[in-house]
Structure 1
Amino acid sequence: MKRRWLIVALLACGLSGLTPAAAGKKDKLTREVEDTIRIFKKADPSLEKFFKESAGYAIFPRVAKGAFGVGAARGTGQVFEKGRLIGEASLTQVTIGLQLGGQVYAEAIFF
């Protein structure tokens, strides 16, 4: 019986540490998205119109892509409706064909 309570207590302690880490990760993603938007607008000022007039947009500050015959890409970002944050999104891509290498890039999708 004592062993069961010990396991439950250790499990509860382990799970209690998940919330702050998730919150810190979300804050980091928000900062990265804000920085990415700023960089995009600085690189091409005409994008300001898309940010203001589009129904919504998704910003992926870091999409990692790699390939060795078969390629894959993955990224996490945030989705905005009329400039207001409404959630998070993930981007996944798989490609097949002659390819080798890797890259990291930022992506904006307007809709």
Structure 2
Amino acid sequence: MTAFSRRRFIVAASAPFAVAACGNGVGSTGGGRIDARVDEATNFMYDTLPETQTLASKSAGVLMMPLITEAGFGIGGGFGRGALRIDNVTVDYYSSTNASIGLQIGAQQYAHALFFMTPASLNSFRSSPGWVAGADLEYAVSSNSGALTTDTTSLLTPVVAVVFGQAGLIAGATVEGQKYNRIIP
């Protein structure tokens, strides 16, 4: 591999990560800007998915990630920043990152909220040095009518994820594999 082709490969491989960081508060004015975005995303979620108010009222805490940007061309990545709120008060700020390799092309943006339904799940999240969303998450899936399932099973699950506000060229969005780290904005 020549130096020119290596350079071209490195630029092409790193481009999705540069695009993923755009518009996500990197270099922002800090916590105030993140809180404003979290407020907007929360209001949008409550307006479009009113059942999420039930989840919020019964949860020990809510991590709102108001804007996740993902991009990929074979190699992909995503980034976003948000806030953990307990009793509707911000207690910590978090970043979310993910990386993927495989058949993919395009970009998308979306928001998501993690509802910690038990104090134990919230404590586990807050005490971990880097929490990774796994396959054990319960998704409150939106039906065609725009309603979420907030049945007893969802309310007893330790962590419930709600993905909303999708826009872009990659079909589907999931929080599985997202890594969350506490940050100081």
TM-score range, shorter chain: 0.7 to 0.9
Unmatched runs of 5 consecutive residues or more in structure 1: 1-21
| TM-score, structure 1 normalization | 0.75
Q: CA deviation at 1:53?
A: 0.9
Is 1:26 matched up with 2:31?
A: yes
Q: CA deviation at 1:23?
A: 8.5
The amino acid of 1:96's aligned partner reads: I
**Aligned residue pairs: how many?**
90
8 Å CA contact retained: 2:31, 2:93 = no
Unmatched runs of 5 consecutive residues or more in structure 2: 1-26, 117-185
Distance 2:112 2:100 in 1: 18
> Cα deviations across residues 7-39 of structure 1 (Å, max 9, x unaligned)?
xxxxxxxxxxxxxxx883321211110010000
The equivalent of 2:67 in structure 1 is 62
The amino acid of 2:93's aligned partner reads: E
Q: CA deviation at 1:51?
A: 1.2
Q: CA deviation at 1:95?
A: 1.1
Give 1 or 2 for the bigger CA radius of gyration: 1
Structure 1 residues 67, 76: CA separation in 2 closer, same or farther (over 3 Å shift)?
A: same
Residue of structure 2 aligned with 1:86, choices 87, 91, 103: 91
Is 1:102 matched up with 2:107?
A: yes
Q: CA deviation at 1:48?
A: 0.4
The amino acid of 2:36's aligned partner reads: R
8 Å CA contact retained: 1:52, 1:83 = no
Residue of structure 2 aligned with 1:77, choices 72, 75, 82: 82
Q: CA deviation at 1:57?
A: 1.1
Is 1:51 matched up with 2:56?
A: yes
Identity of aligned residues (%): 27
8 Å CA contact retained: 1:66, 1:103 = yes
| 1:24 aligned counterpart, secondary structure | coil
The amino acid of 1:82's aligned partner reads: D
The equivalent of 1:16 in structure 2 is none
Distance 1:98 1:23 in 2: 33
Distance 2:56 2:100 in 1: 30
Q: Tell me which protein shows more strand as a share of its residues.
A: 1
Deviant stretches of 4+, over 4 Å: none
